[in-house]
Structure 1
Amino acid sequence: MTVSTSPIETGDAAVVFDGVSKRFAASGQSAAFTALNDVSLTVGRGSITGVIGRSGAGKSTLIRLVNGLEKPTAGKVLVDGVDVGALDEAALRELRRSVGMIFQHFNLLSSRTVFGNVALPLEIAGMDRRAIDERVRPLLDLVGLADKHGRYPAELSGGQKQRIGIARALATEPKLLLSDEATSALDPETTQSVLELLKRINAELGLTVLLITHEMEVVKAVTSDVAVIDKGEIVERGHTFDVFTHPKHETTRALLSGLPGSKLPEAVARDIRPAAAAGDRVVVRLTFFGAAAERPLISRLIQSIGAEVNIIAGTIDEIGSKPYGSLVVAYGADPETSGKADRFFAENGLTVEVLGYVA
């Protein structure tokens, strides 16, 4: 994906949204509304692409268009060059065999064992028992549940249930895996293990993954590309590292502000104001990456401006093996100090966002 808004390229694309809109008519007590508006987006073959947005932004509608659970009101959704909205039921069933899906709430059958849940789509497809066994057992090995093949969902943890869901989604040997908020019901440690599994599947099987989420941590941990959706429109898209380090849209910046080290402490957030008064300190968020992440920036900043600098929050992390850091600091808002700070930031290639002012 690129940040460009020019006509999309469909060359080596697994999924293409081409000017897609989806409008729902009024129903019962629900008013008519537009869930998606003129969305154009390309998901590269073999990539892990994330679509992130708040609740109600249109994420779930977007992903349901890919496997034909919804049809677009306008535009086209192409999967491997095939217009999903134009398929009849028989062709749609065939396409769905090449598109696996994992869900937030697992959607497992409580009356079936681990093996039986993974085998279900193969049984529906009419595969014989021996072929099913040969397909399912390697998948249970892949997701680390070979020793649990005879257990039932009620006996397993949330992370184990999601691994069953992933194995089941892979049973039909799909080319594309859709993930609908697959980690939002899991604790952080379990989420990390599931994301590591998705990365491994992507690397070993060459599987394209389209992942929707409201969690920036998930996007940071696993995706190569990301699109930000807000009120049914794609407001920003690009390589994950570029979007994280140079966010252009206010929605993206708001989502990034919730990451550890970026969120303001409650005491500061409560007192911050948009305009400076005499004697105030300016609060800024610094984003740095690459070589800058390894420099003693704060000590150099203090030397450059000749004034105290308060560290309010901060973190150093990686996005796709590239070092990335976010630091929230405060210093004097007077013109002389602020001017020196601005020159220092420019000389060191730091991205700066003024968050407000505090006494």
Structure 2
Amino acid sequence: MTNITASPSDAAQSMVRFDGVSKVFPASSGRSAFIALDGIDYAVPKGAITGIIGRSGAGKSTLIRLVNGLETASAGKVVVDGVDVGGLDAAGLRGLRRQVGMIFQHFNLLSSRTVYDNVALPLEIAGVDRQSIDRRVTSLVDLVGLSDRARRYPAELSGGQKQRVGIARALATEPKLLLSDEATSALDPETTQSILELLKSINRDLGLTVLLITHEMEVVKTIASQVAVIDKGKIVESGRTFDVFTRPVQETTKILLSAASGVKLPDWISSDLKPAPSAGDRAFVRLIFMGETAFKPLTAQLAAAIGPDLNILAGAIDEIAGEPFGSLVVAYPAEPDMLSRAEAFYARTGLTTEVLGYGA
């Protein structure tokens, strides 16, 4: 598998650029050297929400920690808004981190400080005057919907409220880039949705670039306009979220997205499917509706083209990165004439299909 290399135009418009980046953790007692990242070339576009997905241990966390200098690359360059992170001294790194906010899975709030004081902390460290701190913190606490909780302590907050404090704190120094390290993994689905809506509004209203890593495909499908798939330290697939989710190329991507790829046949059907038909078999086909085909009455037209032997087995309507996406699993006799009529219909209408197999 090969890395996807950013084009020059991508690089020119990038907020973060990885140029041939590798990270090797040296051998230590009882452990051999480990290659966490292996020649990464990738550009994170300005103003977008970009998701990095991959299995545990694929290199996601290491990649994001290189962006704010929490880790240093063993080879290659990490460039944030034109600045080579590896070339910064301690003072330069402090300046970079004021431009790069980060939110964490477990919130990382100080239990002894109120909501207000947690959000104020980065500004205090930066030496901002008290009046400016008050204006900024009051605005941010209101932005994340916690004005009535400003004097509460973390122990008095729900998980979603704690994460809102974390987001407000990450925005305190008015960063250009927001990093999210599994920020919704500890939250229930309803709370996750509210946090994602908040991040989308921040991205839209503040023009903030967001780079998030997650193992939750629903998060990426909901919020990210761009996605990259990392496997064994390499970027193996990347592009628009809609394109990657609807037309995955690499097997790693297909496996990762299997739970978020629409309807599936039950095991008692799929386990008996064969790659080629026998006499009396039926073809099991997934129809994929996207773009213009998402709004056309193609199911009725297919039934008219094939005839009454068409069975509709399952279906779902979804949205990926704000674009409509539907899938329908149908079955019809795998007879030459029937298959020919179906293929002609698919070619005429532009309907995307996937043959799942053949069976009785």
TM-score, shorter chain, exceeding 0.5: yes
Partners of 2:190 and 2:291 lie apart in 1 by 27
**Other structure's SS at 1:42 match:** strand
Paired AA for residue 242 in structure 1: D
Do the aligned partners of 1:288 and 1:349 also contact (CA within 8 Å) in 2? Answer: no
Q: 1:124 to 1:251 in 2, by over 3 A?
A: same
1:210-245 C-alpha deviation (Å, 9 max, x unpaired): 111122221121112111212221111112222233
The superposition leaves residues 90-113 of structure 1 with CA deviations (integer Å, 9 ceiling, x where unpaired) of 211111110000111111122221
Q: Secondary structure at the match of 1:257?
A: helix
What residue number does 2:121 align with? 120
Distance in 1 (alpha carbons) for counterparts of 2:336 and 2:31: 53
Distance change >3 Å, CA 136–CA 246, structure 1 → 2 = same
Give the conservation status (yes or no) of the 8 Å contact 2:283–2:359: yes
Matched residues, number: 357
CA 229–357 in structure 1, closer or farther in 2 if over 3 Å, else same: farther
Check whether the contact 1:49–1:209 (CA below 8 A) recurs between aligned residues.
Answer: yes
Displacement of 1:62 = 0.9
8 A contact 1:272–1:358 mirrored in 2: yes
3-state SS of paired residue (2:166): helix
Equivalent residue, structure 1, for 2:15:
14
Q: So what's the TM-score if we normalise by structure 2?
A: 0.91
The verdict on how the C-alpha distance between 1:165 and 1:323 changes in structure 2, with shifts beyond 3 A counting, is same
Query: Does the CA contact (< 8 Å) of 1:246 and 1:351 recur in 2?
Result: no
Deviation at 1:327, TM superposition (A): 2.5
Seen in structure 2, the aligned counterparts of structure 1 residues 24 and 277 have a Cα distance that, compared at 3 Å, is farther
Which residue is equivalent to 1:218? 219
TM alignment of 1:112-261, pairs within 5 A:
112-259=113-260, 261=262
User: In 2, Cα distance between the equivalents of 1:56 and 1:342?
Assistant: 42
> Are the structure 2 counterparts of residues 17 and 6 from structure 1 closer, same or farther at C-alpha, using a change threshold of 3 Å?
closer
Q: Identity percentage over the alignment?
A: 67
TM (normalized to structure 1)?
0.91
- Does residue 107 (structure 1) correspond to residue 105 (structure 2)? The answer is no
* Kept after mapping to 1: 8 A contact 2:5/2:42: no
Q: CA 1:143 to 1:332, structure 2 compared with 1: closer, same or farther past 3 Å? A: same
Give per-residue Cα distances to partners, 1:313-355, cap 9 Å, x unaligned. Answer: 3322233443221223333334443333233222222222233
The Cα of 1:203 is off from its aligned counterpart by 1.1
Residue equivalent to 2:74: 73
CA distance in 1, matches of 2:196, 2:288: 25
- Range that drifts further, 44-53 or 275-284: 275-284
CA–CA distance in structure 2, aligned partners of residues 26 and 335 of structure 1 = 61
In the alignment, the residues of structure 1 paired with residue 167 and residue 51 of structure 2 have an alpha-carbon distance, to the nearest angstrom, of 17
How has the CA–CA distance of structure 1 residues 335 and 202 changed in structure 2, closer, same or farther, with 3 Å as cutoff? same
Where does the alignment leave 5 or more consecutive residues of structure 1 unmatched?
none
Q: Residues 311 and 165 of structure 1: is their aligned pair in 2 closer, same or farther, counting only changes over 3 Å?
A: farther
Q: CA deviation at 1:145?
A: 0.6
Aligned residue for 2:57?
A: 56
Q: Which residue of 2 aligns with 1:86?
A: 87
Q: Give secondary structure in 1 for the equivalent of 2:164.
A: helix
Which residue number in structure 2 is paired with residue 293 of structure 1? 294
CA distance in 2, matches of 1:316, 1:79: 38
Change (3 A) 1:329 1:235: farther
For the Cα contact (< 8 Å) 2:6–2:42, is it kept in 1? no
Matched residue type, 1:134:
R
The CA distance in 2 between the partners of 1:239 and 1:70, in whole Å, is 28
Residues 184/330 of structure 1: CA separation in 2 closer, same or farther (3 Å cut): farther
1:147/1:273 Cα in 2 relative to 1: closer, same or farther (>3 Å)?
A: farther
Q: What is the alpha-carbon distance in structure 2 between the residues aligned to residue 29 and residue 109 of structure 1?
A: 35
